């Protein structure tokens, strides 16, 4: 047994000196007030195994029978949160989701090697589980060993964050409070934190308004902040990059396309692909496409105006409700990700994202509106020639579309604003008579 000690600490994202324990309830750099990042001891990690050695370790645990090893996040625990003993891990066996080769859809849009990373195939139905398992494990372990005083875990949410926080909080036996924008989350998303016993607080504002309130509660030390401003979330979410590389035989795709709102996940993909390259498991990073809804597109605007900072906008209503965000907290992190990954930002209108979903569904997928934004962006990049025909393109599907039944129903009824439901499929009502049904089948085949 090697005795190399692995460690990870919080550091200022902008490089101010000083480091802070992951057990500290700290969300901003005490020097500059900016964002924090988790810094791993890369020298210790490479002393433990070389690239090939780590690939072997990760492959041996992939979807293993043991729930901790078999978790897509905790199977890579040394790279995620090495300080958490395996006995303290709060897990639902998240991760290990399919990388689905979307052959029929890809053929239609001239991207033969189109893949969809199905992050919605998870306990609470979105990729948020990947970050929340890390946050819940670090915090509950710290509390258990007397290194943190117990407090309520809290978040602002467009729906999926609160579902994941409530589930992992319930698993760990920790109190949870969630702040939701009134009328802007789906029924399925609203009922999840209710069912898990969280305090569900609906505020008469949008996501950005909820975010302001929860940040102030955290600053007053009344709650522990569970939004992705907290870099513990990003540590778990970066395993999407690890898995995509692993599922492609440790040969990263040419492009990865991600629907983005608060932009934490864009930072997570960058952190993951950068770490793989640095520790010698892969030799390059994919190009990144950050995909936004046209109705909530602050990053798109900043990128195309060649700005280095992102100005807030007032997000307009979009069916891609999880990314209806005008003041993205992780914008500086995403800027760095775009730079490092030779990235671009694309957008999709309500009509484009809805049509992309309908096309995907017809080809056997079942795409949530956010996945529709990313699919539409990929189709546009292909049409522009930026994505080449031979490129392997991974679209990250961030949630399970079963959470967005209202969207599907309204699409097929033709009642979504600004959407032409060209692929609507209307059910028919017929008499319970074999001849009537046979006649209908013959007439419509």
Enumerate binding residues for ligand PLP (CB under 6 A).
Answer: 126, 128, 160, 228, 259-265, 322-323, 368, 370, 398-399
Residue among 97 and 141 whose Cβ is closer to ligand PLP: 97
Q: Are strands 8-12 and 255-259 parallel, antiparallel or unpaired?
A: unpaired
Residue among 125 and 169 whose Cβ is closer to ligand PLP: 125
370 contact, one of Zn ion, ligand PLP, none, CB 5-8 Å limit per kind = ligand PLP
Name the segment binding Zn ion (CB under 5 A); options: 23-31, 123-131, 229-237, 251-259: 23-31
Name the segment binding Zn ion (CB under 5 A); options: 16-24, 41-49, 275-283, 426-434: 16-24
In the bound complex, what is the minimum distance in angstroms from residue 28's beta carbon to Zn ion?
8
Residue among 191 and 437 whose Cβ is closer to ligand PLP: 191
As to burial, measured by CB atoms within 10 angstroms (0-12 exposed, 13-18 middle, 19+ buried), residue 221 is exposed
In the bound complex, what is the minimum distance in angstroms from residue 156's beta carbon to Zn ion?
23
378 contact, one of Zn ion, ligand PLP, none, CB 5-8 Å limit per kind = none
Regarding 201 and contact with Zn ion (CB under 5 A), the answer is no
What track of x and - describes contact with Zn ion for positions 32 through 71 (by CB under 5 A)? x-x-------------------------------------
Residue among 117 and 128 whose Cβ is closer to ligand PLP: 128
In the bound complex, what is the minimum distance in angstroms from residue 41's beta carbon to ligand PLP?
26
Name the segment binding Zn ion (CB under 5 A); options: 30-38, 210-218, 297-305, 330-338: 30-38
228 contact, one of Zn ion, ligand PLP, none, CB 5-8 Å limit per kind = ligand PLP
29 contact, one of ligand PLP, Zn ion, none, CB 5-8 Å limit per kind = Zn ion
Name the segment binding Zn ion (CB under 5 A); options: 15-23, 263-271, 350-358, 401-409: 15-23
As to burial, measured by CB atoms within 10 angstroms (0-12 exposed, 13-18 middle, 19+ buried), residue 194 is middle
Regarding 19 and contact with Zn ion (CB under 5 A), the answer is no
Q: How far apart are CA 256 and CA 347, in angstroms?
A: 15
Strand order in the sheet with 176-181: 199-203, 176-181, 152-156, 223-225
In the bound complex, what is the minimum distance in angstroms from residue 163's beta carbon to ligand PLP?
9
In the bound complex, what is the minimum distance in angstroms from residue 47's beta carbon to ligand PLP?
32
In the bound complex, what is the minimum distance in angstroms from residue 267's beta carbon to ligand PLP?
8
E-strand ranges in 204-322 read: 223-225, 255-259, 287-293
32 contact, one of ligand PLP, Zn ion, none, CB 5-8 Å limit per kind = Zn ion
128 contact, one of ligand PLP, Zn ion, none, CB 5-8 Å limit per kind = ligand PLP
Query: In 10 A of CB 7, how many CB atoms?
Result: 14
Residue among 140 and 321 whose Cβ is closer to ligand PLP: 321
Binds Zn ion (CB under 5 A): choice among 8, 11, 22, 29: 29
Task: Say which residues have a Cβ less than 8 Å from residue 353's Cβ, sequence separation at least 6.
Answer: 293, 319, 320, 369, 372, 373, 375, 376
Give the gyration radius of the chain's Cα atoms. 22
Residue among 128 and 336 whose Cβ is closer to ligand PLP: 128
The dihedral built from the CA positions of residue 287, 293, 298 and 302, taken in this order, carries a sign that is positive
Q: How far is CA 321 from CA 152, 314, 315, 368, in A?
A: 26, 14, 10, 10
Provide DSSP, 290-322.
EEEETTS-HHHHHHHTT-SS----PPPP-S-GG
Q: How far apart are CA 423 and CA 354, in angstroms?
A: 10
Residue among 55 and 333 whose Cβ is closer to ligand PLP: 333
- Asked if 339 contacts 374 with a C-beta cutoff of 8 angstroms, the reply is no
- Residue identified by tokens 């902008």 is 14
Q: How far apart are CA 423 and CA 351, in angstroms?
A: 12
Spell 361-394 as b/e; 16+ CB within 10 A means b: bebebbbbbbbbbbbbbbbbbbeeeebeeebbbb
Angle 224-229-234 (CA atoms, 0-180°, nearest 5)?
A: 105
Binds Zn ion (CB under 5 A): choice among 4, 7, 9, 16: 16
- Residue identified by tokens 């955290």 is 218
Residue numbers at the binding site for Zn ion (CB under 5 A): 12, 14, 16, 29, 31-32, 34
């Amino acid at each position: 047994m090697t005795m190399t000690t692995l460690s990870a600490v919080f550091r200022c994202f902008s490089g101010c000196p000083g480091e802070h324990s992951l057990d500290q309830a700290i969300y901003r750099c005490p020097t500059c007030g900016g964002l924090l990042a988790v810094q791993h001891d890369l020298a210790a990690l490479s002393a433990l195994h070389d690239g090939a050695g780590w690939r072997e370790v990760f492959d041996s645990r992939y979807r293993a029978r043991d729930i901790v090893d078999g978790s897509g996040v905790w199977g890579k625990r040394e790279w995620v949160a090495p300080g958490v003993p395996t006995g303290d891990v709060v897990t639902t066996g998240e991760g290990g989701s399919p990388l689905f080769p979307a052959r029929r859809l890809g053929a239609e849009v001239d991207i033969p090697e189109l893949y969809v990373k199905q992050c919605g195939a998870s306990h609470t139905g979105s990729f948020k589980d990947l970050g929340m398992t890390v946050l819940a494990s670090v915090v509950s372990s710290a509390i258990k060993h007397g290194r943190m005083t117990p407090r309520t875990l809290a978040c602002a949410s467009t729906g999926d964050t609160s579902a994941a926080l409530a589930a992992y909080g319930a698993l760990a036996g920790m109190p949870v409070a969630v702040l939701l924008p009134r009328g802007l989350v789906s029924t399925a998303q609203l009922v999840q934190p209710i069912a898990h016993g969280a305090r569900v607080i609906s505020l008469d504002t949008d996501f950005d308004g909820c975010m302001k309130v929860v940040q102030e509660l955290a600053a007053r030390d009344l709650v522990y902040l569970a939004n992705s401003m907290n870099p513990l979330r990003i540590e778990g979410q970066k395993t999407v990059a690890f898995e995509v590389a692993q599922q492609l035989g440790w040969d990263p795709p040419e492009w990865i396309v991600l629907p983005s709102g608060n932009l934490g996940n864009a930072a997570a993909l960058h952190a993951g692909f950068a770490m793989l390259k640095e520790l010698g498991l892969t030799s390059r990073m994919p190009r990144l496409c950050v995909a936004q809804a046209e109705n909530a597109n602050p990053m798109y605007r900043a990128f195309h105006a060649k700005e280095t900072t992102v100005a807030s906008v007032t997000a307009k209503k979009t069916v891609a409700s999880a990314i209806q965000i005008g003041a993205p907290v992780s914008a500086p992190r995403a800027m760095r990700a775009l730079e490092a990954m030779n990235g671009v930002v694309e957008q999709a209108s309500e009509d484009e994202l809805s049509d992309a979903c309908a096309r995907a569904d017809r080809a056997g997928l079942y795409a949530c509106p956010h996945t529709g934004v990313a699919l539409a962006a990929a189709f546009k990049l292909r049409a522009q020639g930026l994505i080449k025909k031979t490129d392997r393109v991974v679209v990250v599907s961030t949630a399970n579309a079963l959470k967005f039944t209202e969207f599907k129903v309204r699409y097929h009824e033709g009642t979504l604003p600004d959407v032409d439901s060209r692929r609507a499929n209307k059910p028919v009502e017929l008499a319970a008579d074999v001849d009537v049904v046979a006649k209908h089948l013959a007439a419509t085949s």
